[in-house]
Amino acid sequence: MADSVPARTSFIVRLARWRVPLGFVCGVIAVVLSDPTRASLLAGAVVGVCGESIRIWAAGHLEKGREVTRSGPYRWTRHPLYAGSSIMGVGLAIASRSAIVTVLVLAYLSVTIAAAVRTEEAHLTEKFGSEYGAYRQGTASPVLRRFSAARAMRNREYRAALGFVVVLGILALRSRGVL
């Protein structure tokens, strides 16, 4: 990165790039600090599945890097994948049944998603120019496109779904005293 880039911008770019590995670290801490019960796991799973459903819907419309996607949930929000991730995070916080984990999850999501949105919007503005500007301002026409499971798979949404199931499984083991 050029020396002319302000330190704050450089930090935000690094934070956006490191959000997934940082998420794994926070996840381990969250599991250690969790105190899940059957009821908290069920409630958290219901909320988390809602978030993952939004992510799958979004991934089934997204043509990443090829266009400004304006179909499906992108008609209503610029960042449905992040909205879904946030809901999944809330579900995992509920499942953990820990105030400390809830604060950790909310802090992680607030900081990393804000950084990701900022860098992503700068990239999309640079790549698509006025087309993305019109979309941001809500003046771009929506695009009619059907959901595609193949597109969701191509966007590797199965990784987020699998990660969610694995974390719930670990919390379930923790609730039984296995971990």
| pLDDT tens across the length of the chain (179 residues) | 444 456 667 888 888 888 888 988 998 999 999 999 999 999 999 999 999 999 999 999 999 989 999 999 999 999 999 999 999 999 999 999 999 999 999 999 999 999 999 999 999 999 999 999 999 999 999 888 999 999 999 999 999 999 999 999 999 999 998 88
C-alpha 82/C-alpha 103 separation (Å) is 18
Question: Which residues, including other chains, have CB under 8 Å from residue 106's CB and lie 6 or more apart?
Answer: 89, 93
Which pTM does this prediction carry? 0.89
Terminal CA-to-CA distance of the chain, rounded, Å? 43
